[in-house]
Amino acid sequence: MSDYLIDLAKWQFWMALAAAILLVAPRARDQHRSWVYALLNLGFITLLVGWRLGAWVLAGAGVAWLLARAVRYSPRRGIWVVLAMGLTIGVFVLHKLPTWSAALRLEQINPLLRVVAFSYIALRLIELYRAMYEQRYDAPDLVSIINYLMPFQMLAAGPIQSYDDFVSQPGEPRPLNAQVTLSAAHRIAHGVFKKFVLAFAIKKLFLTDFTVHGFYWILEAQMFFIWLYLDFSAYSDIAVGIGRLIGVHTPENFNRPYFARNMIAFWERWHISLSLWIRRNLFFPVQIALLRRTDGKKPMLCASVGFVVAFLLCGLWHGIAWNFVVWGAMHASGLIMVNYYRGFLTTRLGSKGVKAYLANPYIKAAAMALTFEWVAISHLTFFYRF
């Protein structure tokens, strides 16, 4: 891993937090609040990558701002949106395939794309351009672009805030009181504890990067899933806590995913912001287009195709490699099976029978265990390249 990655054990993140508490939090009613927050977000990135690359980040935000304006106001909006989306996807591909950027002699941009976690920024950019193309809002100013694309507390690993959510935030956040401060501090401390104590302990005690075989390999698959939840949700806890403290809405990303009884419920509880992004921008558009084409006669098939397209692309978002395609295929097939099984149960048992079936605690426990195992096995694809 590059040293450029945001590391909570280093001082930059905590310095940015301290600056946010001192400079952003008290400015609930200040008209310059968003300016201060934007400077803080840019300053944080500059602290990590230096002035030269920091200037590149500012230039990138400037390009995004110009493109957003062109997509929103130009009479040739269609061409501009294709250009904007194409550029975003092009940079995303360079980020994911460093050999390509090396071939194009653009290898200097890779460390920068890694530190700003461009995968997450790309999803936010697509949301922004889509909102502009559909003319749902006026084009944002440069300050809003910076605050939407690279908020320091959501930079490393999300949550991926929707543009609708960003725009609908009240201009004047709720003033900070003792109760909010306490709950925010508790959330941050809980996240830090999860990452550096619980996840750390599991990693040290159980994880070997799957270098073992036999029974321990099966145990490690379970422990890796538990570790991944602790590690990932820890960051979300910290981001949500900071957001609460400085009055910037930061969406929730997890809701007890181990209690999901099927894959559909799992994606309503795990990486919620990514799941909602997929639903808004991939699954629904594909499903609706297919339903229109088939006059609504084959809803299950349309949903299945929607799942396959959405989750194969979601797999490719994780990395452009076959193992991530397999990951996406596993999740898509899990979702399709749940959909068909629901239909099967309703025809076989009727709505009353389904209710009784769902209320059965043994079936509930078995369903939760099966969902857990399916996801745990899917995570193995992160370690086996083919």
Partner 1 sequence: MKVLRRFLFPVQGLSPWGFYLRLLLIALQLLLAYCLAEQNNPFFYQAF
| 323 contacts: CB under 8 Å, gap ≥ 6 | 381, 382, 384, 385, 386
By CB under 8 A, the residues from 88 to 127 that bind partner 1 are: 117, 119
CB of 271 to partner 1, least distance (A): 8
Give whichever of 26 and 319 is closer to partner 1, judged by the CB atom: 319
Q: Does 5 bind partner 1 (CB under 8 A)?
A: yes
Size of the site for partner 1 (CB under 8 A): 34
- Rounded to whole angstroms, the Cα distance separating 63 from 149 reads 12
Give whichever of 128 and 160 is closer to partner 1, judged by the CB atom: 160
Q: Does 228 bind partner 1 (CB under 8 A)?
A: yes
Q: Does 212 bind partner 1 (CB under 8 A)?
A: no
Of the candidates 317, 372, 375, 376, which one interacts with partner 1 according to CB under 8 A? 317
CB of 232 to partner 1, least distance (A): 5
Closest CA to 68 of 157, 155, 166: 166
As given in the structure block, the two tokens for residue 50 are 């230096």
Residue at token pair 């909102």: 131
- Beta strands in the chain, from DSSP E residues, in sequence order: none
Contacts of range 304-309, beta carbons closer than 8 Å, 24 or more positions apart: 304/336, 304/339, 306/282, 307/283, 307/332, 307/335, 307/336, 307/339, 308/332, 308/336, 309/282, 309/283
CB of 34 to partner 1, least distance (A): 26
Q: Does 319 bind partner 1 (CB under 8 A)?
A: yes
Positive or negative: CA dihedral 33, 34, 39, 41:
positive
Q: Does 33 bind partner 1 (CB under 8 A)?
A: no
Of the candidates 232, 266, 267, 283, which one interacts with partner 1 according to CB under 8 A? 232
Give whichever of 5 and 218 is closer to partner 1, judged by the CB atom: 5
Q: Residue 123: how many CB atoms within 10 A of its CB?
A: 22
Q: Does 15 bind partner 1 (CB under 8 A)?
A: no
**Residues of this chain that bind partner 1 (CB under 8 A):** 1, 3, 5-10, 117, 119, 156-158, 178-179, 182, 185-186, 189-190, 192-193, 195-197, 200, 228, 231-232, 234-235, 317-319
